[in-house]
Amino acid sequence: MKIIEVTQKQHIKEFLNLPTKIYKGDTNWIRPLNNDIENVFNPKKNKFFNHGVCTRWILQNENSETIGRVAAFIDQEAVHKDNDQPTGGMGFFECINDQTAAFLLFDTCKHWLQAQGMEAMDGPINFGSRDSWWGCLADGFHEPVYTMNYNPAYYNDLFKAYGFQEYFKQYTYRRTLAEPMHPRMEARGQKIIDTEGFSFRHLELSKLEQYAQDFCTIYNKAWGKHAGVTELTLEQVKNLFKLMKPVIDEKIIWFAYYNNEPIAFYVQILDANQVLKYLNGKMNVLGMMRFAYYKLFKKFNRIVGVVFGVVPEHQGKGVEMAIVKAYSWVAHTPKYPYITMEMKWIGDFNPKMMKVAEWVGGAIYKTHVTYRKLFDETKPFKRCPVID
């Protein structure tokens, strides 16, 4: 077997096409868009290159057949953040069910990271924000929603056998939108809605720049100081909203304000995978036509909860319940097109958010695991600290 760094067009093609072999016959797998993957590795598209480095490899057998792939990266803004040791990352791992092949891919990442001063690696993660391509699916092998990792169950065995340990779990909660909130939680939310100073409104695309600013303010206060999370710039948020525009419905993204200051958001998008499953990884002209047709005529019936945040000074007051209650003004109308919602990326280090997901009627539907490998295994391993 030989490791080949991805530097040529043919290598990129092999990197992108390998999953079609791994998941052949798996009806739940949905092929990601090639451009979504490639943008991660494009310095012109991925702003993380401004403060990080990244590379990737394919693995071929003696017959020059590609049997594995992986990427490794260093985000300088997260290397030391809440870590006892400088920690890099690896991801986009795909491999046949062969421990020798998998270990060769893991070793390649480890040696590359060690050469740049890293003492541990997290994986499988993204060279980018946590909302995409993060974690190894360990339970709930259902269709993935847009930019969520899907993998064979044996990947977890390969990670553990190499010495990766569970750093944290990420839960996806699922709820039927027509079902009401828990009565006590609904009453708590209504109390906040009725309190002077609080207001709630959904996104307006005509005022996208203002909402991008509000999102940036809330996100950095609510999430920017957490372990492994880097603050977002306004430019990053504006680019994110621009990319999300095809899957945005104004009335499923909500903001909360107190005395006109942004204090919370509840961001949901259409699940693009309901269309992408038919496009074989290519959003060309025909793909865009199919997407537009589906959005206009066949309609989406599944939405995805991307991120939920409340600034620290308003946490624990019931704002979480209030913003969901405000959304229900729309969701509980007759002939509402969306049936289910998946709230992805709720870490087990955030028990308060887990409770919120349960209070609004959600139940765990999928479990992903983010693993960490300490290169010096004599050092004590610590899980991600729980948020108080």
User: Along the 388 residues of the chain, how does pLDDT read in single tens digits?
Assistant: 999 999 999 999 999 999 999 999 999 999 999 999 999 999 999 989 999 999 999 999 999 999 999 999 999 998 988 888 999 999 999 999 999 999 999 999 999 999 999 999 999 999 998 889 999 999 999 999 999 999 999 999 999 999 999 999 999 999 998 887 778 888 999 999 999 999 999 999 899 889 999 999 999 988 766 655 677 888 888 888 887 888 888 999 999 999 999 999 999 999 989 888 888 778 777 777 777 777 766 678 899 988 888 999 998 888 988 999 999 888 888 888 899 999 988 999 999 889 888 887 889 999 999 999 999 999 999 999 998 7
DSSP 335: T
- What architecture is domain 2-168+370-374? 3-Layer(aba) Sandwich (3.40)
What are the residue ranges spanned by the domains of the chain?
2-168+370-374, 178-338
pLDDT attached to residue 379: 94
Question: What is the C-alpha separation between 31 and 50, in angstroms, rounded?
Answer: 29
Closest by CA to 356, choosing from 328, 315, 386, is 315
- What architecture is domain 178-338? 3-Layer(aba) Sandwich (3.40)
Question: What is the C-alpha separation between 243 and 290, in angstroms, rounded?
Answer: 18
Q: What is the Cβ-side half-sphere exposure of residue 387, based on CA atoms within 13 angstroms? A: 20
pTM exceeds 0.75, yes or no: yes
Structural tokens at position 262: 């942004």
pLDDT attached to residue 194: 94
Closest by CA to 220, choosing from 43, 77, 359, is 77
pLDDT attached to residue 225: 63
pLDDT attached to residue 329: 87
